[in-house]
Structure 1
Amino acid sequence: MDRPASPYRDLPPRAYWRSAVAERAPLDPGDLYRPRFPVTRDMRIVTAGSCFAQHVGRALRTSGFNVMDFEPLPARVRDETARRYGYRLFSARYGNIYTARQLAQLQAEADGALSPALPVWRKGDRFVDAQRPGVEPDGLESEALVLRHREAHLTCVRKAFRSADLFVFTFGLTEAWCHRDSGTVYPTAPGTIAGSFDPQQFAFRNFDVPAVLADFCTFRETLRQSRPDARFLVTVSPVPLTATATGQHVEVASCYSKSVLRAVCGMLTERFEDVDYFPSFEIITSQNARGAYYEANLRNVAPQGVETAMGAFRAAHGIGDAPEPEPDEPRRQRRRRREDRTEDVVCEEVLLEAFSR
């Protein structure tokens, strides 16, 4: 007797949990990603996002993709030193951009449409840029110097955003601290790296789906005014929260945050043909991985996890490993290729661990 008709009858194996997950070989990324559009090595790629976005950008670069850097240092500067000062992490020296609100705010500031409140914070007797407090670990000697550095940085940001063939953004957090009167959002809570916390001036915000979606849509629409053919690749960081200010258990708060961000990515791909989603979050957090893609602290992503995710990306786009270096490639450049594969990420959020009892 024939089985009754059903919309679930005879779907491909990837549609069923048993065949697509339970019976998949452990640590096999499987058929999770089918690109919406090709990503090629000649595309000008601009990267931004949370700490995990540094892994994504580095993996793209070491795979031979054309990841742009509009705020470079001379090659003679060691990578360890460069990264300590916020260089070679992203396509400009903006540091980690944890929220979509921060991304849209940076774009508006670079275009001259917005001036963030309290742009300079004190750090002892020194001063830092409140929008990227980690890029000058020792601070600068005056507020005026911070503002001059900021203006030069915004010029680089404009060039980066307006050059992108592909903008790659990793959504990291929904939690943020804002200036009460203006709504200015900051990448870190005042008092963590610099500044001081005043509850009369600063308020906690946990962005929901409509807010995150609206912020990224604003960013996309503005970028496409100068780059009408630009495309977007979005991901969600698989790194849980270090700490939460919601009052909830940190694991519950992390689940909420990642659920909001993943929902937004799904809505973006449904709404816009120029947005694609790469499931690095699903690959690394998959039950199929048995936790192997995390370090012992159950938070940091292990090198194997990064390589598995980016290997799936390369395979889906029909691109092999990074091209072999030319024989006459400078020794410094060859060493940077090796360092790129193992270097730790720079993450301000992890500093919150110091406040735990």
Structure 2
Amino acid sequence: MDAFAAARNALDQAVDDDRLIGYVCGVREAGRSRIAAGGSSAIGGADMGPGALFPLSSNTKPLGGALAMALVEQGVVGLDDPVDRYLPELRELRVLARPDGPLDQTVPMDRPITLRHLLTMTAGFGWVDENPALAEAMSARDVGPGPYAPPLDPGTYLDCLAELPLAGQPGEGWWYHTSSDVLGLLLARASGRAVADLMAEHITGPLGLADTGFTADPGRLPTSYGAGEGGRPAPLDTASRFVGPPAFESLACGLVSTVGDYLAFLEALVDGGRVLGRDSVGLLATDHLTEPQRRVSKGIIEPGCGYGFQVEVRPGGVVGWAGGLGTIGYVDRRAGRSAAVFTPQSFDMPGTAEALEQVWRLLGD
């Protein structure tokens, strides 16, 4: 039995055992994809189809990294440009005097935030487990990490983010998620264009990703589920978020896509495809973290792995990421093989993590 058939069997078994509502999985090599679907698009609903659209959640981030590098190649923005050149709202931020300290005890920034900091999640804002007060303040202002795009317009978002101190000096630690939202705002300001237009011109258009974008036909999206009372599936309102253009075009979690589209995107991370030069994609897929930064990323980045430009970097040239609403995609750059598993259930539901682990079988690991 080959790896694709074995992964399908495991996913079908998870469906039969009621650990998985449905799935689409696929593998791509040398420009050819194999895609399969199983289970249902909703509990008690129609069969899952191979062309189903899924909210990518954090699987949006690698596309954001590729978009940023495309604009770097064109000279629109430089990796070490201070972001306050385009986002003056972030020019005079304060920094917590202690990572776990009170929000009113701060010091000045000792260096500006750069595009490189945003791409590597080292800017100073993001997931802050060690400071619940800062996490709560971010959430209260709708600028905290989460599976959905912020419900704010870009200007309001920046103003709210700038009201709060950074968790640490830029370049010193690692703080997940928020840098990706700021990244989209930076690229839009630097280019004078909407993020959706940039994505269409530089990534989805050249790669022919017709089903990847910030809007979608809600009838093509399976019902998403999270863990409800007693761990039972509870429907989430995801489809309505993509009916029309969002107020905030998030590069952290704002795109929808199909397994077929995502496989084609991942394949482009082997050598750049039609969207990036080889040197740029190599830089994107290189681990840029220091050892102390890898230590603080524990629980988000797997042990023994690092982080490039919006992608996890695993040993052996494997890069990619997962999304909290139940999607995962990675590419083995040495073998030229990409794989993805998309499900309609979030990570907090029993069976989701087990199902997504089949991506490694699809890659042949």
Q: By the TM > 0.5 criterion, same fold?
A: no
The TM-score, its normalising length taken from structure 1, stands at 0.27
Higher relative contact order (CA 8 A, sep 6+): 2
In our comparison, the structure showing a higher alpha carbon Rg is 1
The TM-score, its normalising length taken from structure 2, stands at 0.26
Q: Which one has a larger percent strand, Structure 1 or Structure 2?
A: 2
